Structure 1
Amino acid sequence: MFVLIPGAGGSAWYWHPVVSELRARGHEAIAVDLPGADESAGLPEYTDAVVAAIGERTDTVLVAQSMGGFTAPMVCDRVPVGLLVLVNAMVPLPGETPGQWWGNTGSEPARLAAAEAGGYGTEFDLDTYFLHDVPAEIVAAGEGHERPEADIAFGQPCDIERWPDTTTRVLSATGDRFFPVGFQRRVARDRLGIEAETIPGGHLAALSHPSPLVDRLVERLP
């Protein structure tokens, strides 16, 4: 059973190509819709929603994208998870907030350095950093699913005492301009002591390269 956590905004739609591909290959898969735009709901409520989706299952493969990396370890602290896969994800320290993560990891200098090396703009915009490799028809279809991320979650800590014992994999997209692959590799080594695996695509690899991503997700299943 695959349970997929979206990033900021919390739209389950982001994962729809991956969910379809997993189901076509005979796997059970659901993406969890989170109340990302709700100023009264934050990381604890996101965790509650994912835990409810898992239910009584004990063999779940939990997949988290981007800001979903803050919710995922909190879920693993509460219910048995067979495997945790982080995809272009924020990797939090115990007690760290998403707002602190950017400065603590040096994500902004890494983004700017990658932009200068890659020859694209350093000023953040969605087309350059999120949508540059997503097919136009997918971009158009996603316009109705865009949501802001309420400020509340950025000030809430990842409420764990240590990283869970759950086996963890990190998948980093080689074309990610928001969290450059070298930056992701460093964070994975420094914070988890593991080597990130590479996948094709940018930050929204589930939309731009769903089949190669699914290939990696179904490897080494518990």
Structure 2
Amino acid sequence: MTSTVVLSSPPMTIPSPQNLNPQVQVQSRPILHNVKPETGSLKSCKNLQEIKQLHGQFTKHGLTGDAAVLTKLIDKYSQMGSPESLEYAQKAFKIFKNMREDCGSSIIYLYNSLIRGSSLAGAFDEAILLYVDMLFEGVAPDNYTYPFVLSACARGLRLSEGVQLHGSVVKMGFHSDIFVLNSLIYCYGECGEIDRARKVFDEMCDRNVVSWTSLICGYAGERGIKRLFLYFSKW
């Protein structure tokens, strides 16, 4: 029996990427130059309170006007994956965007960090809206972006948005990226669309353990073990 997915909010309409060349993209990791040594202390921060204390020190010494410092702060806040840490990350990101001329290659990395952080914090709609904001800002998604935003769709049972993102994946040329495709399988499986998940799986040129695990979990969760064995008996 096919399960019914109930969305907690109306489906969004996600715009298709326009005028973005997937072959010409900024790097997914920021290149940091002339960063003062104090920023290295962020690596040792174990909780939100420690990050906030260090943030205060950066502010005191006038370092929060440095795009590289903000980049590390936003990423660290996002990694915490809580509503409160996400709020701090978003505030810092607003400051960062006002420094757009100094953003360089960091902007895509920070969008990805915030999308991931939003998903971890359970702010699934916020994660999707950040992806939409990327497109309006003319920032081309990369192969890190889609796994993060598809994870938000999966965890939030946002099937409609997941289907739209699938179209964007194809348009942006990531239809052969194993990590992106694994995320699609996971998204469809979590949303109860195991036939869509299987179609993605069947069309993959290469598969890894995650590919198989995602499909197996989709079958086990929605259609039962019997159909799972019937499917894999063909292999």
Q: TM-score, length-normalised on structure 1?
A: 0.28
Q: Choose between structure 1 and 2: higher strand proportion.
A: 1
Q: TM-score, length-normalised on structure 2?
A: 0.27
Q: Which has the larger radius of gyration?
A: 2
Higher relative contact order (Cα pairs below 8 Å, separated by 6+ residues): 1
